[in-house]
Homo-oligomer: A and B are copies of this chain.
Amino acid sequence: MDLLRNLPYEELGFAKIDLHRSLRQGLPEVIFCPGKTAKQVVEIAHRLKQHHELVLASRATPELAAAVLPQLQGAIYNELGRMLIFGPLPQPDDSVPAVAIVTAGTADLPVAEEAAVILQSTAIPLVQVTDVGVAGIHRLLGNLELLQSAAVTIVVAGMDGALPSVVGGLLDSPVIAVPTSIGYGASFQGLAALLTMLNSCAAGLTVVNIDNGFGAAVAATKIISSIMSAQRRPPARERDNRYSSPGAP
Which A residues fall within an 8 A CB radius of B?
A: 1, 4-5, 7, 9, 13-16, 18, 21, 24-25, 30, 34-36, 40, 59, 76-81, 83, 85, 88-89, 92, 94-98, 104-109, 113, 116-117, 120, 125-128, 130-139, 141-142, 144, 146, 149-152, 159-162, 165-166, 168-170, 172-176, 179, 181-212, 214-216, 218-219, 221-223, 225-228, 230, 233-240, 242-249
B198-A138 in contact (CB<8A): no
Least CB distance from A19 to B in Å reads 11
A79-B245 in contact (CB<8A): yes
- CA A199 to CA B174, docked complex, whole Å: 21
> Using Cβ atoms and an 8 Å threshold, which residues of chain B touch A34?
107, 182, 184
> Using Cβ atoms and an 8 Å threshold, which residues of chain B touch A80?
243-245, 247-248
Contacts A15-B106, A165-B160; A248 near B81 (Cβ below 8 A): yes
A136-B9 in contact (CB<8A): yes
